[in-house]
Amino acid sequence: MKNTLIKKIPLYIFKELCPIFIFANIFFIFLLLIEKLVKVADLFFGNNVSIILILETILLLTPALLVLTIPLASLIAVMFVFMRLSSDSEMIAIRSIGVNTFSTLKPVILFSIITTCLSLMLSLSLVRKSSILTINNLNKITENISINDINENEIYERIPGILLYAKKKMNNIDYEGFILVNKSDKSIITATKAAITPAKEKSIQMILVDGRITKVGDIYNTSIIKFQNMVISIPMNIRIADIVNTPMTLSTTELIEKYSTDHRYQFELNKRFAIPFSTIILSLFGFTLGVSTSRRSKNSGIIIAALIAVAYNFLPMYFEKISYSSASHHVLYAWLTNIIFLIFLIISFKRVMK
C-alpha cells in the first residue's frame, strides 16, 4: 500500500500542475494582448476594420505570446501547487510515508521539460509563421485607410510615419492651410493650397501650391526650401513588414545563414533558445518558493513571484537594447537573463534543501 502511494504521488503532483498552468497562460496572454491592442487601437478601430479580421489578428498573435507566458505560467503553477501542499500539510503527509523533498521535485522536472519543449517548438517555428500572417493582416487593415477622412483642424494620423493637417477643407479633394509632417526624414511641408487625389497602385497624389519644406536637424542644421508647385506621391498600402523591420520574421534557417552578417540575427537566434529554456529555471524557482511557505507567509511568496515576473519581462528587453547598441557580447546578452535567474535559483535551492 505504501509503495503504491509513493508511486502515485508524482502523477498526483503532475495533474495538479496542468490546470493552473493553463489558467496562468490564459491570464498572462490576456494581459499582453491588452498591451498590444492599446498600441494598435487607432489602426484597428479607426479604419472600419471587420471584427473577424481583428479576432483573426489577435489569434495569430497567440503563439508569440505563448513563448513569453509559458515560463511565467510554469513558475506560477509549480509555486501554487507546492504552496497548497505545504499549507494543507500534504507535504508533511508525503514525507511521513518516506518521500523526501527532493523526490517531489521529479514531477516538476518532467513538467518543466515538457513545457520547455512546447515553448521551443513555438519559438523555432510557429512564432515566425504567425508573425508573418499577423503582418499580412495588419497590411489588410491599412488598406481601409481613406484620405477622405481628413477633417479640417484635425491631425490625420492613419498613415504610419505621416501626419497631415488642413486648416480648411473645401471638398474631398481641395484643402487650404495644409501641413505634412514626415517622421522618417524629420521634414515639415507647408502649403497654402493642396489638392489630394487617388493614384495608381493604392497611392495618393498631392499637388501642393505656394509652400516650403523645412528639414529639421539640430539648431545649426535646419534648412528651408520654398516652392511654387510640388507633386508628392504617398503609398496608402504601406507595408508594415518594412516598418517593423525585425529579425522575428526570419526563419531559424535564415537566421543561421545570416548569423555572421548582423548582430541582430545573432541575438534573435539565441533568444529563440534562451526564452524556452528559462521555463526550466522558473519552474524550479516556483518549487523553491512553494516548499518554503512553511518558513514564510504565502503573501511574501506571491510578492517574490510577482517581482520575478516583472524582472523576467524587463530584463530581456533591456539586454536586447544594449545588445543592439553594443559591438560585442550579443550571445551573452541573449542568455544573461537566464544566467541571473540561475544564480538566484542556486542560492534559493541551497536554502530550501538545508
Residue boundaries of the structural domains of the chain: 2-142+244-352, 147-236
pLDDT at 241: 41
Categorize the per-residue pLDDT at 265 as very low, low, confident or very high, splitting at 50, 70 and 90: confident
Q: How far apart are CA 73 and CA 25, in angstroms?
A: 5
The pLDDT score that the predictor gives to residue 255 is 84
Instruction: Identify which of 189, 187, 183 has the alpha carbon closest to the alpha carbon of residue 230.
Output: 189
Given this model, what pLDDT does residue 106 score? 85
- For 98-114, the pLDDT digits (tens) are 666 667 788 899 999 99
Sequence letter at residue 19: P
Q: Quick one: which of 316, 298, 312 has its CA closest to 88?
A: 298
Classify 107 as helix, strand or coil.
helix
- Give the containing element (helix H, strand E) for 49: none
DSSP 336-352: HHHHHHHHHHHHHHHHH
Tell me the C-alpha distance between 323 and 327, whole Å. 8
Whether residue 181 has pLDDT greater than 80: yes
User: Rounded to an integer, what distance in angstroms lies between the CA atom of residue 36 and that of residue 162?
Assistant: 21
Q: Which of 122, 133, 120, 145 is nearest to 47 (CA)?
A: 145
CB 333 within 8 A of CB 318: no
Q: Which residues contact residue 295 at a Cβ distance below 8 angstroms, ignoring those fewer than 6 apart? A: none
Prediction pTM value: 0.69
* Packing angle of the helix pair 105-121, 51-87 (nearest 10 deg): 170
Selection from 227, 132, 224 nearest residue 187 by Cα: 224
- Tell me what pLDDT residue 314 has: 87
- pLDDT grade, residue 277 (50/70/90)? very high
Between these two residues, 1 and 53, which has the higher pLDDT value?
A: 53
Distance of CA 228 to the CA centre of its chain: 46
276: closest CA among 9, 34, 69, 84? Answer: 69
State the cell numbers at 246: 525585425
Q: How far apart are CA 25 and CA 66, in angstroms?
A: 7
Contact 311, 281 (CB under 8 A): no
